[in-house]
Amino acid sequence: MGIEHEDILKHLSKVCKKDDQQSFQVVFETYFERLLDFSISYVKHSEVAEDILADIFIKLWENREKLININNFDAYIFTSVRNQSLKYIEKKKRWTSEPLNEIYGHDNLINNYTPAAEYEFKELRRNFDHAIEELPDQCKRAFQLVRQQKLRYNEVAKILGISVKTVDAHVVKAVKRLREKFKSCRPKK
């Protein structure tokens, strides 16, 4: 890191008690590169990661009087970056039709296009979105990251702080629940 933990605590204390901008700059420079790499490991884009860090450090400065209450600054700052990176991923998510294709059948979606079918598809999409929102939180996040964001299981495990096997169990559980919920919508073979 280049600077001792005790020195960081002294700088944080100066920021908190004296509004010391130079000490804040030292904290910023000490953590920036590691936090940037950490955020990039989630969001995959350095510009986005830089924006996330800027927001976090602005909030830190705005709430500097509360810094004294933080027992483990490393854990606090890395957790903040992780949470903001996950929020970005959630906001950025782009729905693909792949999960619906599993439930409804890709060929059926393409071969039976009519305005009525388009309306039915949009209604099914709304119901599908709602069904995903009803999944347990961790299960929903694992499903969205794997199936919609196209992240690998090991990446999702890192983001959510769980094992790869747990990610797999969540995705299987989500798909099972969605299939069960939409089994009446599946085309007859």
> For residue 102, what is the domain's CATH number?
1.20.140.160
Query: Could you say which of 58, 92, 126 is where a domain stops?
Result: 92
Does the pTM surpass 0.75? The reply is: no
Domain that residue 147 falls in: 98-185
Query: Could you say which of 92, 122, 157 is where a domain stops?
Result: 92
Residues 133-185: tens digit of each pLDDT: 899 999 998 988 888 777 888 888 888 899 989 998 998 898 888 888 877 66
Closest to 89 measured CA to CA, from 31, 156, 178, 138: 156
Sign of the CA dihedral running 158, 41, 93, 147: negative
